[in-house]
Amino acid sequence: MSNRSNRNPDLDRTICIVGLGYIGLPTAAVLASRGYTVHGVEIDARAAEIINSGKAHIVEPELDILVRAAVGTGKLKAHATPATSDVFMLCVPTPLDDARAPDLSYVRSATETISPFLEKGNLVILESTSPPGTTELVASIVAERTSLAAGDVQFAHAPERVLPGKILREVVENDRIIGGIDDASTAACADFYRTFVAGKLLLTTARMAETAKLVENAFRDVNIGFANELSLMAEALELDVWELIRLANHHPRVNILSPGPGVGGHCIAVDPWFLIDRVPDQTPLMRAAREVNNAKPDWVVERVRRRAGRLRSPRIACLGLAYKPDIDDLRESPALAIARRLAEIPDVELRVVEPNLESHPEFELHSLEDALEGADVVVALVGHHQFLGVAAHELAEKAVFDVCGVWRG
């Protein structure tokens, strides 16, 4: 009997993934490693070139290895345009516009781009975190642009729920919410995810799936907002916020998070606004948390500015630009916003350290040792593991602002 006759017929399907970024590329690599042929679509020519050379253009543990194997076996290739496939996955950005309303232009564009390649029996999956009703919008765009009748193509939402730094494991192991625009779409999407997801599949409707993902991140944002508000309160009371939280967390039903310089990343800093935009009168707590977290960088900058103002031509070591430890993702990063503001202080020499980037268009990047050498002020904004080993004597006689608690204890 041939190997092909023993093969799972699902794996003979081609998967077209639009957007090979922080979610699309790891998903593509995982699917290729399972035996699927993945036709990636990436409009950034430089990123596509890197991927097709067998490398990842983003920092994620073990992703380079998986991409190299996938490209080497011919199971993954990046292209500028879609192609006829069996499953289409949309992994494109869903940012906010200047009015903090959802910008769905990338979703619209991606849907319009795949429409000429759609055929009866295809499955279209929106993975991008989106406001309620976006999956139905995708279906309506396809209906307008093709001759496919209702039910010829299935549409579903399966929001990603992964943590940068652990994406490859969590793409497979995490439970997934699967919601179609109808029962047939939900079933088709679930059948596909069962071929590579080990976690539970939680079946629902598209609108419920869209809303549940937003609620998850709004919940986290509110809790982070509480911790950040505590840091402001503790300073006003001349208390150590880290010790305050440590003591309070000894209560068996209290688990306060750690404060930081704000909230970053595409999800937590953005998703609550999708809900606030849709139901503003019912979401005052979410709005308050957003305002607390958005204001935290201003608080950090003001504290550093006051201290630096006492010195003549101060040298400030700014540690970290990413929005969280040990990744290169700068999206909505409060650390990056703070670094930009600190660079505007007159007569300041700012030395920026970001070990996960080779370069940055705005800042000359320094080694940790170079930044600390001769620094008057040290601002720790991100808890990268490279910063953990800084010895106490290296910070002696410097004004230290440990905003993220990297040297706590």
Active site residues: 213, 267
- Check residues 11 and 279 and name the one with the higher pLDDT: 279
9-199 with 219-402: one CATH topology?
yes
- Mean pLDDT of the residues in the chain: 94
Q: In what order do the strands lie in the sheet with 37-41?
A: 76-79, 37-41, 14-18, 87-90, 123-126, 154-157, 176-180, 201-205
Report domain extents, the chain.
9-199, 219-402
The model's pTM: 0.89
Q: pLDDT tens-digit profile of 377-409?
A: 999 999 999 999 999 999 999 999 999 999 986
Class of domain 9-199: alpha beta
Q: How many CB atoms lie within 10 A of CB 239?
A: 13
Contact (Cβ atoms closer than 8 angstroms) between residue 167 and residue 184:
no
Q: What is the DSSP string of 306-344?
A: HHHTTSSS-EEEEE--SSSTT----TT-HHHHHHHHHHT
Query: Would you tell me which CATH number, out of the four given (1.10.10.10, 3.40.50.720, 3.40.50.2020, 1.20.120.330), belongs to the domain 219-402?
Result: 3.40.50.720
Which one of 264-268, 297-301, 390-394 scores highest in mean pLDDT?
A: 297-301
Q: How many CB atoms lie within 10 A of CB 246?
A: 13
Determine what percent of the chain is predicted with pLDDT higher than 90.
91
Residue 7 pLDDT: 53
Is pLDDT above 90 for 303? yes
Q: pLDDT tens-digit profile of 89-126?
A: 999 999 999 999 999 999 999 999 999 999 999 999 99
Contact (Cβ atoms closer than 8 angstroms) between residue 260 and residue 404:
yes
Residue 150 pLDDT: 79
Confidence bin at 4 (pLDDT 50/70/90)? very low
Q: pLDDT tens-digit profile of 304-344?
A: 999 999 999 999 999 999 999 998 999 999 999 999 999 99
Confidence bin at 8 (pLDDT 50/70/90)? low
